[in-house]
Chains A and B, each alone.
Chain A
Amino acid sequence: MQMVGKVLNYFLVVIVSVFLILPIIITIFGSFSVYWGTDMFSSGTTLNWYKEVFYYYGNTILFTLAISLSTVVINVILGTLTAYVFSKSDHRWMNLIEEILSLPMAIPGVAIALALIQTHSMIRGSGLLILAGHVIFTFPLLFRTVLGTLRTKDFKILDECAASLGATPFYRFFHVIMPAVKSAVLSGAIMVFLLSLGEFNITFFLYTPFTMTLPVGLFDSYSTLRIEIGSAFTVVFLLLAIPLMFTLHKLNQSSTFTRNGGV
Chain B
Amino acid sequence: MIKRSTPIFMMPIMIIFSYFFLYPLVVLMISSLYDDHGFTTKHYSQMITNPYYVKGLINSIGLSVSVTLVALVVSGVLAFFLARHDFPGKALYFTLITFPISFPGVVVGFMIIILFGTTGLVPILTQKLTGQPSMVFAYTIFGIFLAYLYFSIPRTVMMLFGAIKEFDYTLEEAARTLGANSSQAVVHVILPAVLPIFASAGTLTFSTAMSAFGTAFTLTDQFNILPILMYNEFTLNFNIEVASAIAVVIGVICVVMNFGYQTFLKRGSY
Q: Which residues of B contact A97 (CB under 8 A)?
A: 10
Interface set, chain A 205-263, CB cutoff 8 A to B? 205, 215, 218-219, 222-223, 227, 230-231, 234, 237, 241-242, 244-246, 249, 254-255, 257-263
Residues of A near any B CB (own CB < 8 A): 2, 5, 9-10, 12-13, 16-17, 19-24, 26-27, 30, 36-38, 78, 81-82, 84-85, 88-89, 91, 93-94, 97, 100-101, 103-112, 114-116, 118-120, 132-133, 135-136, 139, 194, 198-201, 204-205, 215, 218-219, 222-223, 227, 230-231, 234, 237, 241-242, 244-246, 249, 254-255, 257-263
Closest CB of chain A to B172's CB: distance in Å? Answer: 15
Q: State whether the Cβ of B102 lies closer than 8 Å to any Cβ in chain A.
A: yes
Query: Knowing A91-B1, A136-B16, A258-B155 touch, does A107 contact B251 (C-beta < 8 A)?
Result: yes
- Contact check, A20 vs B100: say whether CB atoms are below 8 A apart: yes
**Are A106 and B255 within 8 A (Cβ)?**
yes
Q: Which residues of B contact A109 (CB under 8 A)?
A: 211, 213
Is B121 within 8 A of A22, CB to CB?
yes
Q: Is the CB of A16 within 8 A of B20?
A: no
In contact, A20 and B150 (Cβ under 8 angstroms): yes
Closest residue to B75 on the A side, CB-wise? Answer: A16
Closest to B128 in A: A38
Task: Report if B191 contacts A (CB, 8 A).
Answer: no
Q: In the complex, which residue of chain A has the Cβ closest to the Cβ of B250?
A: A108
Complex contact A219–B106 (CB within 8 A): yes
Known: A13-B77, A16-B97, A26-B115. 20 other contacts (CB 8 A): A5-B183, A81-B9, A81-B12, A93-B2, A108-B213, A108-B251, A111-B250, A114-B234, A118-B27, A118-B31, A200-B213, A201-B213, A201-B214, A219-B214, A245-B99, A255-B158, A257-B102, A261-B207, A263-B108, A263-B215
**Complex interface: chain A residues within 8 A of B22 (CB):** 100
- Residues in A with CB closer than 8 Å to B12 are 78, 81
Within 8 A of A (CB), among B114-128: 114-115, 117, 119, 121, 124, 127-128
Chain B 199-232 against A: per-residue CB contact (8 Å), 1 yes, 0 no?
0000010011011111101100000000100110
Q: Which segment of B40-48, B49-57, B240-248 sits at the interface? A: B240-248
Q: Which residue of B lies closest to A105 (CB)?
A: B258
The answer to whether B183 and A111 have CB atoms under 8 Å apart is: no
CB distance from B218 to the nearest CB of A (A): 6
Complex: how many Å from CA A259 to CA B117?
29
Q: Are B9 and A242 in contact (CB under 8 A)?
A: no
Q: Is the CB of B102 within 8 A of A241?
A: yes
The distance in angstroms between the C-alpha atoms of A219 and B106, with both chains bound, is 6
CB pair B183 A227 closer than 8 Å: no
Complex A-B, nearest 7 residue pairs according to Cβ-Cβ distance, in ascending order:
A108-B211, A198-B104, A115-B24, A106-B258, A263-B105, A115-B28, A111-B247
CB distance from A262 to the nearest CB of B (A): 6
Give chain B residues whose Cβ lies under 8 Å from the Cβ of A19: 115, 149-150
The total of Cβ contacts below 8 Å across the A-B interface reads: 250
CB–CB A13/B110 < 8 A = no
Q: Known: A82-B13, A110-B231, A114-B243. Is A16-B78 also a contact (CB below 8 A)?
A: yes
Within 8 Å of chain A (Cβ to Cβ): is B162?
yes
B103 touching A263 by the CB < 8 A rule? yes
Contacts A119-B24, A255-B162; A245 near B115 (Cβ below 8 A): no
- B174 sits at the interface (CB 8 A): no
Instruction: Report how far A259 CA is from B149 CA in the complex, Å.
Output: 16
Complex Cα gap A116–B154 (Å): 31
Shortest CB-to-CB span from B59 to chain A, Å, is: 16
Distance of A8 from chain B, by nearest CB (Å): 9
Contact A27 B110 (CB under 8 A): yes
Interface: B74 (CB within 8 A):
yes
Decide if B104 touches A215 in the complex (CB within 8 Å): yes
B213 adjacent to A110 (CB under 8 Å): yes
Give CA–CA (A222, B234) in the complex, Å.
Answer: 23
Q: How far is the CA of A254 from the CA of B107 in the complex (A)?
A: 19
List chain B residues, Cβ under 8 A from A23.
111-112, 114-115, 121
Contact (Cβ within 8 A) A116 B24: yes
Give the chain B neighbours of A205 by CB distance below 8 A. 234
Q: Is B238 an interface residue (CB 8 A)?
A: no
Q: How far is the CA of A94 from the CA of B2 in the complex (A)?
A: 9
Q: Nearest chain A CB to B112's CB is how many angstroms away? A: 8
Q: Is B63 an interface residue (CB 8 A)?
A: no
Could you show 16 A-B contacts with beta carbons less than 8 Å apart? A5-B183, A23-B111, A38-B128, A103-B255, A108-B227, A108-B250, A108-B251, A111-B25, A112-B21, A116-B20, A120-B24, A139-B13, A218-B106, A258-B158, A261-B208, A261-B211
Alpha-carbon distance between A173 and B213 when the two chains are bound, in angstroms: 42
* CB within 8 Å of A: which B157-197 residues: 158-159, 162, 181-183
Residues of A within 8 A of B25 (CB): 107, 111-112, 115
Distance A93 CA – B81 CA, assembled complex (angstroms): 44
Bound: A84/B5 CA distance, A:
12
